Every structure is written in C-alpha cells, then in structure tokens.
Structure 1
Amino acid sequence: MQATTLAGNSGPHNTRPLFYSLLQLTLLLALFTGKPHNAQAQDPTLPPTNLGLANVFDGIAGKPGFLYQGYAQLFQTRAIYDQNGHKAPTDLKINSLVTLHQFIYLSKIKVGSGNLGFTTIIPVAQVSASSTTGNAPSTNPKAWGDIITGTAIQWSDKKLFGKPFSHRTELDISWPVGAYTKSYAINPSAHLYSFGLYHAFTLQLNKQFSISARNQFNYNTHIIGTKARPGAFYNGNYSVDYALLPSLRIEAAAYFLGQLQQDSYDGHSDYYATQYGINNTRERVLGYGPGLAYFFPGGGLMEVKGFFETAVKNRPAGFRSTVRVAIPLSK
C-alpha cells in the first residue's frame, strides 16, 4: 500500500529493497496488498482485513432480511516502520481511498438458537504513490479487489449478566478474483485465498453505555504461482460508546493487528531470516481514536471515526479516517 528491480538483490545490508518490501504493506492498511515480481525476494504481506471498519453496535444485526453496509476509508501515510519498530529513513508516501460494498442477508432459519446469515463484500480502491527522493512504485489502474463471502450465525436479544447481549460468529473467505498484473508493483488483489473466523458482540450496559468488540483469526494460503505464504494473524475492533442523545452516540474506538506466525517460503518459516536477514516478518499495528454514530429513523446507521496508528512493526503507519453507513433493505 512495489518492480522486478526492487525485488532483486535484497540482502541484509541492502536496506533500500527492504523499505520497498515494507511499502508493500500500505495497501493492506486500506484492505488491499501489492505483490512483487519475484515473491521469494521479499517477505509477503498480509491479505486484506477489517481495521476499524465497524465498531459501535457491531454485534447487532437487526431483523431478518436484507441489509446494505457501505464503508469508505482514507489512509494517509505518516511513516514506514521496520521489523524492530524503528522509523525507516524514506519519504515514500502511499495514500489510498478504499470503498467496500457489503450485502447481508439474515434469514429466519435457526441454527443453534441463532439466525443463519450470509454476506458478500465487494472492495474498490484508488491509490497514489509519491516520493521526492526516488521513483514511486507503479500502481495497477484497475480498482477491483478480492471479493469476500461469509456465512454467519447471529444471536440477537440475548442476555449476559442480565444485560442485553447480541453476538455473531462468521466464517469469511477471500477469493483471489481482483485485478492483478505482475508488471505492477501495487495490485488490488492479494492473489491468494484467505480464511477468517470472527466473533463480534455488543453488550448494552444501560441506555447510555454499550461495549462492542470483534475478534478475528485469519489463515492464508500461498500466493498463487509462488511458494510464499503470509503467516496467520489476529485482528480486532473495540469500542465503548455513550448516548449523547437517543439517536447520537460518541465512541472511543480502537483496532489491533498482530501477526501470529512468521511468513514462510516453501514451508520454511526461517527463510527470510537466513536468506535476507529479516529475522522478524510479523506485522503489528494499534489504531485508536474518537467516533460518532447517528441512528436514523427506520434502523439506518452512520458511523464516522478517525484513527491514529502506533506500536507499528513491518508496515506503514498513518491516519485512517473511516465512514460506515448501514441501510436496511427489508421492511
């Protein structure tokens, strides 16, 4: 969020290619990733995931029927950080605007006392790259990302500690059908299959306060046509909100991403350490910031947030502004 010349000759004392390897991670911040020509010369980046897209009332799905949710995230790079969490000496900037279109169907079919649901997410991205001291990486002008489909069980209007509690478990699959051309350094498609299993909940403490969280674990396959595989990782969204008015809530929101396994090549998790001196390929980032949520008559929702990123390793860091809109399509 990368060209053949950048992917070659990437030894432990040659830091410039490493910075471009870190640069690959910028599209991930906007739910997309780029891949190099020669994947074995750079450690692979993590595939798309949910970083602060949904926070307030995330565990609540509403009545059975169809629902549309639209998301927009603008990411602006502040700096790029290496495997030790140190700022890399580069002025490279990658700014991206990503929109996602999610279509949800919550059925009346009961599974384990919950409602069976299905979802499809279609991502679209616009990316710009700039550098005043060197060449910026090339970007694929096609904007379609990898489609995500999911199957969920939603439990609504339950109780926890005597308080209203709604929660959901969902299995998502990311399909490598987005735009990908290896001649471009940055592509909308991650070019691999990714599987994510998450649990989201909302606990309403009283009429003013509620707590919401989403905890997700992700497993990735090899990048298609290569032996490189990004490691498994965790990501989570968290929020505490307070009702200023019956229809308006203020929130303190956060997200965290932590890679659990080292990236591997041909099944070897020490490959990038022995070959290129990258002893730690695991990514990490913490984002936090304020938000507002407005509830429309009829069940619609608009959520606006701004996140500042810190505690970063092996990826760029910056500011992420996010807008989420939920519109029920069934009466």
Structure 2
Amino acid sequence: MKRYITASLSGILTKISVISPLTIRTLTISVFAVMAFSGHMHAQAPTLPPTNLGLANVFDGIAGKPGFLYQGYVQAFQTRGIYDQYGNKAATDLKINSLVTLHQFICLSKVKALGGNLGFTVIVPVAQVSASSINTGAPAANPKVWGDIITGVAVQWSDRKLFGKAFSHRTELDVSIPTGAFNDAYAINPSAHLYSFGMYHAFTLLVNKQLSVSARNQFNYNTRIIDSKAQPGTFYNGNYSVDYTILPGLKVEAAAYYLHQFNQDRYDGHSNYYATQYGITDTRERVLGYGPGVAYFLPGGGLMELKVFSETAAKNRPAGWRPTLRVAIPLTR
C-alpha cells in the first residue's frame, strides 16, 4: 500500500479576534502537512489554513473597558514528525519549521449590540518558514513574509453571572482576506490564497479569587483556493485553560488546544477525488496540543502570557513543539 503524507502546502494564515486590555484574542498559526512517497513530492489534498492554536488562553473571554489595544504574538513551530491519514508517523526526515509574529489592533467600542459591546479588530501576520530534508529534498519556500490580513467584528458581554460566579464571554466573526505574498512557483507561501470565515464563542468563568476557567470554540469554513479547484474542508478548533494565582498578578496555567476537520477536502466539488486519484481515503486533519504556561498582569492593564505546547494525536499534518508568547498593551486608559 502506498504511504502518502500530503504535499499541498498552503501557507500561513491566522484567525483573529477582539480583546480588551486584560485579554488577548485569537490567531493562530499552523504549518502545513507534507507527504512523501517513493522519494517524490506530489501536490495532493489541500491543507487547512492556520488557525488559533493556543495563541490566547488565560482570561480569553474577558475584555476591559472600551478603548484601543495592541496585541503582539510570537509563535514558533518545530516539527517532531509528519503523520498520515491513519495517525502513523511517516518515514521521512522532512522538517517544516516556522516563526510567526502577529500584530493585532483592537477597538472595543461603547456601542451596544445584543446587550453587549461591539468590538472590531485587524491582524497583520509576518511569517518566516523553512523546510529541510536530507533524503527527499525540501519544498521551496517563498522568501516574502507578509501573510493574509484578518478582520473581525465581535460582541463582548462583560461582568455577567453563571452559577453565581463572575462570567464574561464573546462571540466573534472573522474573515481572512488573501492579501499576503503568494507565488505558485513556491510550495510554501505566507498567504493561504483563499478566503476563510470563522465564528467562535469564548468565555471565562471566575470560580474564585485564585481560580478561573477559559475556553474558546471556533468553527471555520474555507473557500476554494484562488485559481484552483481545491477546497480545504470545514473544521473546528478550540482553546482551553485552567489557571491559578500563585502571587499577586502572576498565574500558572494548564492549557490545551484541539483541531478537528469535519469533512473531506474537495476538488471541483467532489469529496472523493483524493481517494480516487491518490488513495487518500481520509484527508481530514486532527491534532491535540497541551502544555504548561504562566501569565503576568502588567502595571497599567497589560498582560504577558507564555506557554509551551507539545502536540499529539496528529493526522494528515505535522506534529511538534509550539512555544507561544502573547503581549497585550492597552493604548487608551
């Protein structure tokens, strides 16, 4: 039986969201699944565009007072292995590593909608990706670094109650616009070269003065890749965390994220195309990441959060290590 590991490399994209002075909202990045067989690379099923994998965890559902906020993210990815449709590690030394910075500008307004505050956001990603392989040769990467701009609109509900505990939550719609660098001469590009729509709900429940629980659940739809008949499937991604205060302003956390693709990738509208043409009977991606983290609340309402994720349970994509730093700086008081 032929062993495949997809070699369609979309690029680096991100999801965004709104947050406020005390919390930092979404975005994520992921690197592509690459597959090799018989020592050759073949373009096959498209990979999912990157999404929010552990970029924001602590106090994810909380927003501060209306105003403007800058958020910066730095996320690295180092491949540990590449996994096929059965979750088996491929016999390849191919490594795809990335370093991504994201610059997010947020406005939480005083305008009311559905009982909450309207919020708006825009994110500009900058991504550097490298690929290496001694035995099979590495796919070429576009040297340009500009990723696709993402815009979002949200409704934030603050200072609510759930089970008698303080509860804040938000619903947001994000749109990724294919404005980044793309050249089909390269296998890896900063732009995913498609439109992607994501809607999520995030919440934070303050159990007591020391303990809080946060989660985000997001659903995503992708259009066809521009000038192509290939279309990545719809998928879910979620972030989860439990944190505990150990010193004034300092929290430790247990954090995780999960990605699961619902339906098969399509080609010209056909979901069985990759099974028929390449023998990939299941093109759906999956990965689970988990790890420890710390968060520190800066004087003036800022926030720093540092985490290190280890990935497991991967299918049709690489798995590895994902160190992540986020910094939120309020621009208005």
How does the TM-score come out when normalised to structure 1?
Answer: 0.91
Q: Following the alignment from structure 2 to structure 1, what is the Cα–Cα distance between the partners of residues 236 and 318?
A: 18
Partner of residue 263 from structure 1, selected from 240, 249, 265: 265
Q: Following the alignment from structure 1 to structure 2, what is the Cα–Cα distance between the partners of residues 72 and 140?
A: 20
Instruction: State the partner residue of 2:7.
Output: 21
Counting only pairs closer than 5 Å after superposition, residues 133-144 of structure 1 correspond to structure 2 as 133-144=135-146
Counting only pairs closer than 5 Å after superposition, residues 121-140 of structure 1 correspond to structure 2 as 121-140=123-142
Letter in 1 for 2:304: M
Aligned length: 313
What does the per-residue CA deviation read over 1:53-79, in whole Å, with 9 as the maximum and x for residues that have no partner? 000001011110001111000110000
Q: Following the alignment from structure 1 to structure 2, what is the Cα–Cα distance between the partners of residues 180 and 109?
A: 37
Give the secondary-structure state (helix, strand or coil) at the position aligned to 1:225.
coil
Counting only pairs closer than 5 Å after superposition, residues 19-168 of structure 1 correspond to structure 2 as 19=5, 21=7, 24=9, 30-31=29-30, 41-168=43-170
Judge conservation of contact 2:292–2:308 (CA < 8 Å) in 1: yes
Structure 1 residue 297: deviation in Å? Answer: 1.4
For structure 2, the 5+ residue unaligned runs are 14-27, 36-41
Letter in 1 for 2:130: S
Letter in 2 for 1:109: V
Structure 1 residue 26: deviation in Å? Answer: 8.4
Give the secondary-structure state (helix, strand or coil) at the position aligned to 1:155.
strand
Letter in 1 for 2:74: A
Structure 1 residue 240: deviation in Å? Answer: 0.1
Q: Following the alignment from structure 1 to structure 2, what is the Cα–Cα distance between the partners of residues 116 and 231?
A: 30
Judge conservation of contact 1:75–1:321 (CA < 8 Å) in 2: yes
Identity among equivalent pairs (%): 72
Counting only pairs closer than 5 Å after superposition, residues 165-314 of structure 1 correspond to structure 2 as 165-314=167-316
Q: Following the alignment from structure 2 to structure 1, what is the Cα–Cα distance between the partners of residues 189 and 261?
A: 22
What does the per-residue CA deviation read over 1:252-307, in whole Å, with 9 as the maximum and x for residues that have no partner? 00000000110011111111111110000000000000000000111100000000
Q: Following the alignment from structure 1 to structure 2, what is the Cα–Cα distance between the partners of residues 115 and 161?
A: 23
Give the secondary-structure state (helix, strand or coil) at the position aligned to 1:250.
strand
What does the per-residue CA deviation read over 1:40-95, in whole Å, with 9 as the maximum and x for residues that have no partner? 95101111210000000010111100011110001100000000000000001111
Structure 1 residue 31: deviation in Å? Answer: 4.0
Q: Sort the Cα spacing of 1:25 and 1:209 in 2 relative to 1 into closer, same or farther, 3 A.
A: farther
Q: Following the alignment from structure 1 to structure 2, what is the Cα–Cα distance between the partners of residues 31 and 90?
A: 20
How does the TM-score come out when normalised to structure 2?
Answer: 0.90
For structure 1, the 5+ residue unaligned runs are 1-11
Letter in 1 for 2:190: P
Q: Following the alignment from structure 2 to structure 1, what is the Cα–Cα distance between the partners of residues 119 and 31?
A: 25
What does the per-residue CA deviation read over 1:83-126, in whole Å, with 9 as the maximum and x for residues that have no partner? 00000000011111001111100000000110000000110011
Instruction: State the partner residue of 1:5.
Output: none
Structure 1 residue 314: deviation in Å? Answer: 0.2
What does the per-residue CA deviation read over 1:149-207, in whole Å, with 9 as the maximum and x for residues that have no partner? 00000001111111110100000000001000000110000000000000000000000
What does the per-residue CA deviation read over 1:12-37, in whole Å, with 9 as the maximum and x for residues that have no partner? 73x4xx33527x3785783465999x
CA RMSD, aligned part only? 1.9
Give the secondary-structure state (helix, strand or coil) at the position aligned to 1:164.
strand
Q: Following the alignment from structure 1 to structure 2, what is the Cα–Cα distance between the partners of residues 134 and 21?
A: 12
Structure 1 residue 135: deviation in Å? Answer: 1.3
Q: Following the alignment from structure 1 to structure 2, what is the Cα–Cα distance between the partners of residues 210 and 26?
A: 35
Q: Following the alignment from structure 1 to structure 2, what is the Cα–Cα distance between the partners of residues 90 and 41?
A: 17
Judge conservation of contact 1:34–1:185 (CA < 8 Å) in 2: no
Letter in 2 for 1:193: Y
Q: Following the alignment from structure 1 to structure 2, what is the Cα–Cα distance between the partners of residues 185 and 239?
A: 35
